[in-house]
Amino acid sequence: MVSAFSRPRSPAAPPAAAPDASDAAVARVPRRTGPADPRTRTALVTGASSGIGAALARRLGAEGTWDLVLSGRDPRRLRAVAHDASAAALAVDLTAPGADRRLADFTLATLGPVDLLVAGAGIGWAGEFREMPADAIGEVIDTDLVATVRLVRLLLPGMVAAGTGRVVLVGSLAGCVGVRGEAVYSAAKAALGAFADALRQEVRGTGVGVSHVIPGVVDTPFFERRGTPYRRSRPRPVPPERVADAIRDAALRGRDEVYVPGWLRLPCRIHGAAPGLYRRLAARFG
């Protein structure tokens, strides 16, 4: 077991305060009876209503050694995932005023100290930037960047105080190289990557780690929800379960940066080392 999750397990956490019905809280599904397993770890996963977050929740829930809180915008979908993962959940829009605090308080009341925070909530918008509505600009940046930074700010001090924990930020290839028709999404994910790098330097030596997981095209409802389905033949979308496994591996092995699939590291490296060459290749191959 890596040191990031070496905290001795304390007695069962106090029960959560009665959640606000307006947040569509999902009651905890009991999983264990008897004494707490000393191997049990705690995790909060955002963006768990579907896609990568849902796949990760089910993956961790199946292991039987995680106590989980899940968050997402869709109460119905979130309730189903929480049932499958034997998790507690709070359906909430993290861009709403005070939502980050409500989720943090709910998580700490339900789990106690958090070993793992996986920030997977995100939305996209596809189209020419000059045609992008102003409110859509704010929604993408608030969801993909600001809400995540605020939630990390609330939970990180507890991890540092305990001397253990890991933050996993789910980025995107678009944040490494920029993608035509996704200018604001690319900008938000690029900022998230820079945040991961800076935060990792700040917490070095505290026992807390920061992982940046960078998927390419993933077979999730993301594309339909952004308004434009994915129509390219290459690269082929990977299943969300593959990204979920990479997130789990990054957390348990303490990996700072993970690409899914691994070959995506190459275009990102070319973009960083030889941007002119990358732009020529991008113009030719798209």
- Residues carrying an active site annotation: 185
The one-letter amino acid code at 83 reads H
The kind and range of the H/E element at 150 are helix 147-162
Distance between CA 231 and CA 253 in Å, rounded? Answer: 35
In sequence order, the 6+-apart residues with CB closer than 8 A to the CB of 81 are 48, 49, 50, 54, 57, 58, 70, 72, 87, 89
Strand residue runs (E) in 92-149: 116-119
In sequence order, the 6+-apart residues with CB closer than 8 A to the CB of 156 are 165, 167, 199, 203, 208
Residue 181's closest CA among 118, 248, 230, 254?
Answer: 230
Supply angle C-alpha 251, 257, 259, rounded to 5.
105
The kind and range of the H/E element at 46 are strand 41-46
Question: What is the dihedral sign for C-alpha 172, 176, 180, 186?
Answer: positive
